[in-house]
Amino acid sequence: MSTVQIDGVRVGYGGVPVLRDIDLTVPSGTTTAVLGASGGGKTTLLRVITGFLAPEAGTVRVGEQLVAGNGRAVPPERRGVGYVRQDGGLFPHLDVGGNITFGMPRAARRRRERVGELLELVGLPGDVATKRPDQLSGGQQQRVALARALALSPRVVLLDEPFSSLDTALRASTREAVARALAEAGATTILVTHDQQEALSFADQVAIMRDGRFSQVGTPREIYESPVDVRDAAFLGDVVRLPGRPADGGISCALGVVHTPAGATPFASSAVVDVVVRPEDLTLTDAPACAHGTVLDTRYHGAHALVRVALVDGTEVTVRVTGRRTPEVGEVVPVHVDGPVLAYEYS
C-alpha cells in the first residue's frame, strides 16, 4: 500500500490552464473520489499520476517515490499504478484470461490459477476465463478490467468513470463488487466521477474539482453537510435557495425564522444571506414555526416523491416526501424546516 501525494501540480493545454496548483493526499489503502463536472480536468489529473502526461509544475509521489516533478519522470510501467478506463479497454481478440494476464511476465501468464484468484477477487466465476469480452455484460467487462489492473499487484489503482456506461441497477452492483475487491486487495484508489451519489457512497474521501482546483476535500459527510459555498452545495444535490436576513437569533426567510448548525459563525445584523435547504430537510408538517403553500406539481420516484410548493409570497420550494404520501396538486400544505440549514453571506 502507498500514499499518493500531489503537491502544486499545474497543467495546461495550448496555454489554457486545466489544473491550477492542485494539492491532494490520498492515504495508503483508502479511496478518494475526485468529483467534478465533465471537462473539468479530472482525467488530466489521472494522466499525470499514471505518467501519460508530465506536469508543468509541482510533484507527484507514490509512497516514498517521487514519480513526477523536479526534473524526474518515472515511466508509467515503473510507477506501480493500475488504470481502469471508462470503457474497460479489453482486447477483443483475447479471451478473459488473456486480457487479465496481458502485461504479466511470460512465465506468470502460464499460471492459470492466478487468473482464477483474480476472477474470484472481483466476484466472477472461474469459467468466465475462456469467454471473449463480447460475451460478457458491461458490468462483467468492468470487473475483468479491474482484475487486469490488479494482476500486477499495483500500489495504486485509478478508476476513470468506470461505471458511467452501465445502467442504474448494474452500476450499483458493479460498484459494490469493485469496492469489495479493492478493499480486499488493500489498494490505494482514486476514482474520477461526475456522479455525486457514486462519489459519496464509494469513497472514504471526496475532492470536489472546480475551475481546475479543489474547492473542498473531506469525508463524504463533511462535504455534503458542510459545503464551503453555495456552488458546492448545489453541485452535491438538489437545494432550495432563499434570500434571508439575520433576525431573532436566526435567519428570517420565506420559510420563517431558520437556524444554522450550533457553532456556526453568526452573521452581522446587516448581512444579506443565502439560505440553502435540501429537499429532505423540509417536511409537510404542521409546526409552531412553518410556512404554508400550494402544491404546484409532484414527481414520483418510487420510494420518494419531489413536491414543488409555491409559498404565500410566491417563493417556490421543493420538498422530498415518501412515495406513499404524495399530496394532490392544488392542495394547501404546511412546509416546515426540520433542523438547521446551510447559510452563506451573499456576495
Together in a domain, 186 and 256: no
Together in a domain, 48 and 197: yes
- Long-range contacts of range 10-17, CB-CB < 8 Å, 24 or more positions apart? 10/55, 10/56, 10/57, 10/58, 11/41, 11/44, 11/48, 11/53, 11/55, 11/56, 12/56, 17/212
Give exposure, 179-191, as e/b (b: 16+ Cβ within 10 Å).
Answer: bebbeebebbbbb
The pTM for the full model equals 0.88
Together in a domain, 202 and 262: no
What is the count of structural domains for the chain? Answer: 2
Together in a domain, 70 and 211: yes
CATH code (residue 266):
2.40.50.140
Question: Which of residues 175, 206, 232 is at a domain's end?
Answer: 232
Together in a domain, 302 and 282: yes
Together in a domain, 70 and 144: yes
Together in a domain, 201 and 62: yes
- Sign for the CA dihedral angle at 282, 286, 290, 296 comes to positive
Report d(CA 208, CA 22) in Å as an integer. 11
Together in a domain, 160 and 127: yes
- Could you tell me the residue range of the domain that residue 305 belongs to? 238-345
What is the full per-residue pLDDT of the chain (347 aa) written as tens digits? 689 999 999 999 888 899 999 999 999 999 999 999 888 899 999 999 999 999 999 999 999 999 999 889 999 989 999 998 877 788 899 998 888 888 777 666 566 678 888 888 888 888 898 999 999 988 888 888 888 888 888 899 999 988 887 787 778 888 888 888 888 888 999 999 999 999 999 999 999 999 899 999 999 999 999 999 999 999 998 898 999 999 878 899 999 999 988 878 888 888 999 999 999 999 998 877 689 999 999 999 998 999 999 999 899 999 999 988 889 999 999 999 988 999 999 87
Question: Looking at residue 310, what is its pLDDT?
Answer: 96
Together in a domain, 176 and 79: yes
Q: Are strands 205-210 and 31-35 parallel, antiparallel or unpaired?
A: parallel
Together in a domain, 195 and 117: yes
Interval 122-154: pLDDT, tens: 888 888 989 999 999 888 888 888 888 888 888
Interval 186-204: pLDDT, tens: 899 999 999 999 999 999 9
Report d(CA 16, CA 69) in Å as an integer. 20
Report d(CA 314, CA 166) in Å as an integer. 41
Together in a domain, 182 and 103: yes
